[in-house]
Amino acid sequence: MTETIKNINIDLLIPFENHPFKKREGIEKEELAESVKENGLLEPIIVRSFSAGTYEIISGHRRVEVCKELGIQTVPAIVRDMTKDEAVIVMVDSNLQREHLLPSEKAFAYKMKLEAMKHQGKTYGQVVHKSRDNISDNESGRQVQRYIRLTHLIPELLKLVDEERIAFTPAVELSYLPENEQKILAEEIEYTDATPSLSQAQRLRKYNEQGGLSIDTIFAVLSEEKPNQKEQVKFKTEDIRKYFPKSYTSLDMQKTIITLLEKWQRQRERNRGEAR
């Protein structure tokens, strides 16, 4: 795999086709933008030659977006000679190193990498889960396959997983429901303002396999009181929206609030220490 380093006009850079990693509009992006303003782009992006003198971005989509917004015209890049499958693997591996990844990002990234490795003949057929390091250095093949199951969820349910309203393990169970039943479930979640626990998700899957999953059944399961349900503090979005940029999602707002509370707690601890 040959490579060269060069400065490339930002207009010649093309996003990787169907890459699963979403743009970040919250604190992460603000910190990245501040770093680029102060220090420039310290780490070159990775690209491969594409058609008509353009380059496909393999790693560095967020950095390129920030540079565009800051009016930067050229960026340093490592140009590698790669096939499509090699590019997919590098793209996934480089992004999996990021600190905060959504379940949906991992799910589609693992799926893309698995398919690329199959094309290269680097998997073990139906027993890929037995090779721990085949797809991920940090997660077992079984866990990787569970993430890939999330790609079978409809977007409405997958969004709830990303927002941490549906936990990972129940989401895996729900991924076995047919698309139409998932749509009904999403509507009932919205109506009841409740999401299924693991045991409830398992029952919904079992009812479906037995041919007995109806709207009434879904409603009845979601309406059950969960014995381990903890008291929650809830805010109406319209009450706190004015304190955040319009581009912030509910998850962005939640992370910002937690970050600010952590800073407040550290300040309180410092104040107590100084008062002693």
What is the tens place of the pLDDT at every residue in 92-145? 888 777 767 889 999 998 998 888 888 777 654 544 444 444 677 777 888 889
In this prediction, residue 234 carries a pLDDT of 64
SS3 of 61-108: HHHHHHHHHCCCCEEEEEEECCCHHHHHHHHHHHHCCCCCCCHHHHHH
Nearest to 188 by CA among 230, 159, 150, 217: 217
Exposure of 198 by Cβ count < 10 A (0-12 exposed, 13-18 middle, 19+ buried)?
middle
Binned at pLDDT 50, 70 and 90, residue 25 comes out as low
Picking from 31-40, 49-58, 116-125, 147-156, which range would have the lowest pLDDT averaged per residue? 116-125
